[in-house]
Structure 1
Amino acid sequence: MIFILLFLIVHWYLSLFMQTFFHHRYASHRAFTMSRFWERFFYLTAYITQGSSYISPRVYAIMHRMHHAYTDTAMDPHSPANDRNIFVMMWHARQMTNNIYQAKVLIEQRFLKNLPQWRSLDVIAHSALSRLGWITIYVLIYFIFSSSAWLLLLLPIHILMVPIQGVIINWFAHKYGSINFKLKNTSTNLFKIDFLMMGEAYHNNHHKNPAQVNFGFKWFEMDATYFFIRLFNWTKIIRIPKH
């Protein structure tokens, strides 16, 4: 039981870190820069940690830029304002990511600037064989190490981890929580102190300053991802622009 719970926690935070560090702050907003070597390194790491629910950083960035440009309007690719429940919103977001990946929708040029891309890896990662392979690995780990049958109920979290992480912010952080800034959208700070989402839950702060590397604003709003970003900057893995 302990091993399974540790596996869930480690998988959650590694996947989440790659989403907020690489997909969100780097690919979407270019809050910092990195060399091509490190870009490929983190691209591959994102695939390994996100597994069956992997989404291309390029696709994520395009959709997220659209979200900022059209927040809470009919053109927002994921908004509680457009969908009657969480599951409908998740399905619509899934359709949009597939359409962007398969080039079935026309994307404005402003959303296509400075995007990371590794086409060959994305082809593999987005294949049914890859997703089924990761699901098989998760299932085997649970069958080998589970001490109780009820632990199998946790398997869907591994399989759908990125969509689950996304819906926590894209649904709940547009319906509940508090605000530091009055904006022309429904973004909120879901938690006062965000340990669950590594800073992503300071969503109102983020909509106020999208390119800001630190999502925390008030002194108690600790953004765990920002500490790693500072460490990576200090070790010269990335470069935070000087303003």
Structure 2
Amino acid sequence: MSSTPHHDEGDIVYPSAIPFVLAHIACFGAIWSGVTASSVWLAIGLYWLRMFAVTGGYHRYFSHRTYKTSRLGQFLLAVLAQSTAQKSVFWWASKHRHHHRYSDTEHDVHSPVQNSFAYSHVGWIFSRDHHVFDDSSIQDLTKFPELRWLHRFEIAPAILLALICFAIDGWAGLFVGFFWSTVAVYHATFCINSLAHVHGDKDYVTGDESRNNWWLAIITMGEGWHNNHHAYQYSVRQGFRWWQIDPTYYIIVGLSKLRLVWDLKQPPQAVIERSQALPPRVIERSAERLAASVPLDRVVAAFREAYAATPSLPELHLPTLTAAELRAALAELQNRASDGLAALQQQAHDVLAHWDASSWHLPVLPSREQLSEKAAAMFVKTPSLDAIAARAHELLVEAMHARLVALPVEASPGPR
């Protein structure tokens, strides 16, 4: 347990990843043991039981605290979750909370946007960087001594379950019942890290690439409604619509009827209806995506050429140019266009209609109104579209200013 990041300096694997590799190799033991009907049913039963341990335990309880249970119930959930051999609840919850904090940014531990699909699916667990975790993010969990004990012996529940499987059906029970189901749960879980950020639909603006995927929801008992989850991570329910199947939620509701769990957190209606303003962090990330769609280097080059070719404009002294002066220069360039201004604006709207990375060759930045139109095309409905556009415009001005100031002094635009 540590809050200090570790850098592996190029190491490919660390010892804690060896059990993961051995679990895959052990699946081939079925060639020697044979596959019995009872071992297959054992594997199927353990897959669904332990998938709930991941979704209802590791994820919705320990990572997001979307419902409450007793101290005993919490311990049993932890034991069941760790029987999946996906490390301790401390490690799992800390890594997952980190993922939400930095989803699809360069700091995300398993983003297919920042890394390869293979790395986001499974490669990241082979890095020493991900062996340690930030214990300051899970102080609500580390205060329990029984969970600290489980953390010390994190593989013990999985070993105990493996022995039970062997007792039930011998070697077939071990290789098929235990290892096949373990590896299946591994990859179903990892599909949420990888596929659920690549394939599916976006019903909500979340500032990342999380998506809803119905068939992932089936194999992961409701976790496939990943965009919903990123829209409101504290909801015990991830299927926001009646037709979005969420077996994990149904089971938790059943447990609440038995009074084994309680205080189930629901998503606010404003979130479901997309009528609530987005959090500042989501607005910032969405604005960054919108700003990135503008080919700024082309805008800067076109601005310099147009400014230099326009008579009677004051010379811009780039080393001391301020963002306010840049805004004034952009406005002045448009004003001096006189008769050509209407054509310039129309050209901007024409470019906007088919906006891509190669289409914008104008000497001005897109206006906030034009950015709002683009935001409406890029994102689903949200009251925060204008806020996203306004922030994107600020980011573009700041970035354009930085590029101009970085130019050599002799390249300063101005009249000739």
Partner of 1:184: 207
What is the distance in 1 between the residues matched to 2:48 and 2:221?
Answer: 8
Of residues 132, 145, 158, the one that matches 1:99 is 132
Where do 5+ consecutive residues of structure 2 fail to align?
A: 1-35, 267-416
Letter in 2 for 1:115: L
Q: TM-score, normalised by structure 1?
A: 0.79
Where do 5+ consecutive residues of structure 1 fail to align?
A: 101-106, 147-151
The verdict on how the C-alpha distance between 1:153 and 1:232 changes in structure 2, with shifts beyond 3 A counting, is closer
Q: How far does residue 108 in structure 1 lie from its aligned partner after superposition?
A: 7.4
Q: How far does residue 199 in structure 1 lie from its aligned partner after superposition?
A: 0.5
1:22-101 superposed matches below 5 A: 22-48=57-83, 50=84, 53-87=85-119, 89-95=121-127, 96-100=129-133
What is the distance in 2 between the residues matched to 1:175 and 1:3?
Answer: 37
The verdict on how the C-alpha distance between 1:35 and 1:217 changes in structure 2, with shifts beyond 3 A counting, is same
The verdict on how the C-alpha distance between 1:40 and 1:81 changes in structure 2, with shifts beyond 3 A counting, is same
Q: How many residues are paired up?
A: 226
Letter in 2 for 1:180: D
What is the distance in 2 between the residues matched to 1:108 and 1:131?
Answer: 23
Q: TM-score, normalised by structure 2?
A: 0.48
Does the aligned pair in 2 maintain the 1:54–1:162 contact within 8 Å?
Answer: no
Q: How far does residue 86 in structure 1 lie from its aligned partner after superposition?
A: 1.9
SS state at 1:99 partner: coil
The verdict on how the C-alpha distance between 1:142 and 1:175 changes in structure 2, with shifts beyond 3 A counting, is farther
Q: How far does residue 122 in structure 1 lie from its aligned partner after superposition?
A: 2.5
Deviations 1:178-207 (A, max 9, x none): 222132111111216832111111101100
Q: How far does residue 213 in structure 1 lie from its aligned partner after superposition?
A: 0.8
Higher RCO (C-alpha under 8 Å, 6+ residues apart): 1
Partner of 2:234: 211
What is the distance in 1 between the residues matched to 2:64 and 2:173?
Answer: 40
Of residues 127, 150, 158, the one that matches 1:121 is 150
What is the distance in 2 between the residues matched to 1:185 and 1:126?
Answer: 33
What is the distance in 2 between the residues matched to 1:17 and 1:125?
Answer: 18
Does the aligned pair in 2 maintain the 1:33–1:238 contact within 8 Å?
Answer: yes
Deviations 1:77-110 (A, max 9, x none): 111123223256523135455222xxxxxx374x
Letter in 1 for 2:39: I
SS state at 2:190 partner: helix
Rg (Cα) greater in structure:
2
The verdict on how the C-alpha distance between 1:219 and 1:168 changes in structure 2, with shifts beyond 3 A counting, is same
Given the alignment of the two structures, is residue 11 of structure 1 paired with residue 26 of structure 2, yes or no? no
Q: How far does residue 58 in structure 1 lie from its aligned partner after superposition?
A: 1.6
The verdict on how the C-alpha distance between 1:222 and 1:73 changes in structure 2, with shifts beyond 3 A counting, is same
RMSD: 3.0
Deviations 1:118-137 (A, max 9, x none): 1222322337xx76776677
What is the distance in 1 between the residues matched to 2:69 and 2:177?
Answer: 35
What is the distance in 2 between the residues matched to 1:212 and 1:238?
Answer: 15
Does the aligned pair in 1 maintain the 2:99–2:109 contact within 8 Å?
Answer: yes
Deviations 1:123-181 (A, max 9, x none): 22337xx76776677689574469xxxxx799764343443122111101011012221
What is the distance in 2 between the residues matched to 1:63 and 1:145?
Answer: 32
What is the distance in 1 between the residues matched to 2:155 and 2:176?
Answer: 25
Does the aligned pair in 1 maintain the 2:82–2:158 contact within 8 Å?
Answer: no
What is the distance in 2 between the residues matched to 1:160 and 1:16?
Answer: 11
What is the distance in 2 between the residues matched to 1:17 and 1:159?
Answer: 13
Once the two structures are overlaid, the 10-residue window that deviates more, 177-186 or 160-169, is: 160-169
Q: How far does residue 40 in structure 1 lie from its aligned partner after superposition?
A: 1.2
Given the alignment of the two structures, is residue 172 of structure 1 paired with residue 195 of structure 2, yes or no? yes
SS state at 1:46 partner: helix
SS state at 2:153 partner: helix
Letter in 1 for 2:112: P
What is the distance in 2 between the residues matched to 1:156 and 1:87?
Answer: 23
1:126-205 superposed matches below 5 A: 126=155, 141=169, 143-144=171-172, 157-191=180-214, 194-205=217-228
SS state at 1:114 partner: helix
| Percentage of pairs with the same residue | 24
